[in-house]
Amino acid sequence: MDETALIQTAQHGDLDSFNTLILHYQDMVFHTALRILGDEDLAADASQEAFISAFRSINSFRGGSFKAWLMRTVTNACYDEFRRQKRRPTTPLEPESADGEEMDSPRWLADPNMTPAEKFEADELEHAIQHCLDALPTDFRTVVVLADIQGMDYSEVAISVRVPLGTIKSRLARARLRLRECLRGFEELLPSSFRLEEESNL
Amino acid sequence: MNNFRDIEQLSSYLDGQLSPSESARVESRLSSDPKLASAYNDIRAARGILRKLPARKAPRNFTLTRQMVGLKPPLPRTYSVFRFSSALAAFLLMLTFAANTVMPRVSFGASAPAPLAQGNYGSGGGCDGGCSGDVPESVVTEVVVAEAPSIEFAAAPTNALPSTSADSARNAGTPTVAAVMPKDSGNESALQDQPAVKSEAVVPVVWQIGLLMIALVSALFAFVMSRSAKKKWS
């Protein structure tokens, strides 16, 4: 895929070229939105909005990292979604059962390729990590999702969230510190290679 | 307890964001400070957990349609010509209606005697003594007398009641209501005798029909072109 050529033709209004870019980036965009928002439906809405917004403003892209530019539209869409959530009643992250209790391993977190035991563990771990991510302030969460989950470098993250590099370093360090504290509460769920206390005692 | 500056440095060191000299300094501190090493391992473990999170696939394709982004189909150049001519014809049509309503062309019958018409519709009492030429004197006098009662009506209640000789003498200079009335009614009959005013439209109806047809046909062509372009687009 010649990304530069596709971007250029999309800038001339070619929707098919832009749709090719969407197919390439949609998983990453959705995963980012999911980790920031913590809800699959909201993440899907935010992803769609982000792509629409990206197509409409594609002429503002002046080169550089398209991924970072796209992530900026995603984070903006997520912030818009947060603002909408504040204006209307929110739905819980975990689906509720018939008797009103939260389901521990919701169906929507399941991966069909795993054994039941693996699925259970993965669901629990993912649930725990998402819980800790949700506990972070939005700005910290966005930075940690982009840097640690998406593996973007600091300069790309700085472009995506439009803050200086020093702020990225600071936010990332604070976010990791808080995550470390939060994940201590889920020690039994973590794989042995990631047991924090064991690592700390090294 | 490590301060936040240390944590920030460890986080940057973990991501390889420090300069070689800073990295060397952190490494020497890590080897000599077990608490710092413990904090570093914690941060590294937290990052490792996040990186191990399974990537979630998009639940559906987010590809865009033309309707979603509000793209309009390319229209032929003649579309704008038809649209413009339709709008222009409609505007001109409205102008013709306005012209015919506001500025009707007024004309009088050919048999109307010009001097009389001029005298009656002219300056009213402004001709006392000043009017001359072909206007007959009797007509001028009639007009002047006809104007006078309008002033007299205001004082009429007091002046008309007693009919003493002194009052008659005092009021002799101005005609009484009773005296004026016949003349006034005579004036009305004079007005009735005048020829009827005939108004004609400024813009002929044929033009209006023509403009209406142009507006409708152009709009129809533009609409058909737009529909066919949309059909081809989809």
Tens of pLDDT, residue by residue over B220-229, are 999 998 888 8
- Asked if the Cβ–Cβ distance from A183 to B46 is below 8 Å, we say yes
> Exposed, middle or buried, A104 (CB in 10 Å: 0-12/13-18/19+)?
exposed
Residue B125 confidence (pLDDT): 44
Average pLDDT on A153-169 reads 93
* Lookup result for tokens 């005013």: B197
**pLDDT at B11 > cutoff 90:** yes
**pLDDT at B123 > cutoff 90:** no
Report how far apart the first and last C-alpha atoms of chain B are (Å, whole number).
66
**pLDDT at A93 > cutoff 60:** no
**pLDDT at B144 > cutoff 60:** no
Rounded Cα distance, B116 and B136, in Å: 9
Q: Residue A91 in 3-state DSSP?
A: coil
- Asked if the Cβ–Cβ distance from A144 to B50 is below 8 Å, we say yes
Find the angle CA(B121)-CA(B123)-CA(B125) to the nearest 5 degrees: 110
- Asked if the Cβ–Cβ distance from B69 to A201 is below 8 Å, we say no
Whether the complex's predicted ipTM is more than 0.90 is answered with: no
CB contacts of A144 in chain B (<8 Å) are 50
From B233's Cα to the closest Cα of chain A, the distance in A is: 13
Residue B232 confidence (pLDDT): 77
Please provide the average confidence, as pLDDT, over all residues in chain A: 83
Q: Residue A8 in 3-state DSSP?
A: helix
- pLDDT (tens digit, 9 = 90+) per residue, B49-72? 888 888 889 999 999 988 888 877
**pLDDT at A152 > cutoff 70:** yes
- Asked if the Cβ–Cβ distance from A200 to B42 is below 8 Å, we say yes
Residue A163 confidence (pLDDT): 93
Q: What percent of chain A has pLDDT over 70?
A: 77
- Asked if the Cβ–Cβ distance from B66 to A15 is below 8 Å, we say yes
Average pLDDT on B66-95 reads 87
User: Measuring CA to CA, which residue among A175, A165, A173, A164 is closest to residue A137?
Assistant: A175
Residue B203 confidence (pLDDT): 81
- Asked if the Cβ–Cβ distance from B11 to A173 is below 8 Å, we say yes
CB-based contact A168:A154 (threshold 8 Å): yes
DSSP class per residue in chain B: ---HHHHHHHHHHHTT-S-HHHHHHHHHHHHH-HHHHHHHHHHHHHHHHHHTSPPPPPSS--PPPTTTTTPPPP--HHHHHHHHHHHHHHHHHHHHHHHHHHSPEEEE-TTS-HHHHHHHHS-GGGGTTT--TTS-HHHHHHHHHHHTHHHHHHHHHHHHS---HHHHHHGGGS--HHHHHHHHHHHHHHHHTSPPEEEE-SS-HHHHHHHHHHHHHHHHHHHHHHHHHHHHH-
Of residues A69 and B175, the one with the higher pLDDT is: A69
**pLDDT at B166 > cutoff 60:** no
- Tokens at A8, concatenated: 């250029």
Q: Which residue of A has its CA nearest to B48?
A: A194
Beta carbons within 8 Å of A184's beta carbon, 6+ residues apart = A196, A197
A27, A169, A196 ranked by CB distance to B58: nearest: A27
**pLDDT at B149 > cutoff 50:** no
Rounded Cα distance, B94 and B98, in Å: 6
Average pLDDT on B9-19 reads 92
Residue A87 confidence (pLDDT): 79
Element (H, E) at A76: helix A66-87
CB contacts of B8 in chain A (<8 Å) are 169-170, 173
CB contacts of B53 in chain A (<8 Å) are 35, 126, 129, 149
Rounded Cα distance, B170 and A118, in Å: 128
Average pLDDT on B8-36 reads 92
- Using 50, 70 and 90 to split pLDDT, how confident is the model at A194? low
Please provide the average confidence, as pLDDT, over all residues in chain B: 72
- Using 50, 70 and 90 to split pLDDT, how confident is the model at B205? confident
CB contacts of A33 in chain B (<8 Å) are none
**pLDDT at A124 > cutoff 90:** no
**pLDDT at B32 > cutoff 90:** yes
From B4's Cα to the closest Cα of chain A, the distance in A is: 8
Average pLDDT on B24-52 reads 90
Q: Residue A124: which region, alpha, beta or left (left: phi > 0; alpha: psi -120 to 50)?
A: alpha
Percent helix / strand / coil, chain A, rounded to 5? 75, 0, 25
- Asked if the Cβ–Cβ distance from A52 to B64 is below 8 Å, we say yes
From A126's Cα to the closest Cα of chain B, the distance in A is: 7
Q: Which residue of A has its CA nearest to B46?
A: A180
Q: Which of A49, A176, A194 to mutate to test the interface with B (most CBs of B within 10 A)?
A: A176
CB-based contact A81:A46 (threshold 8 Å): yes
Residue B140 confidence (pLDDT): 47
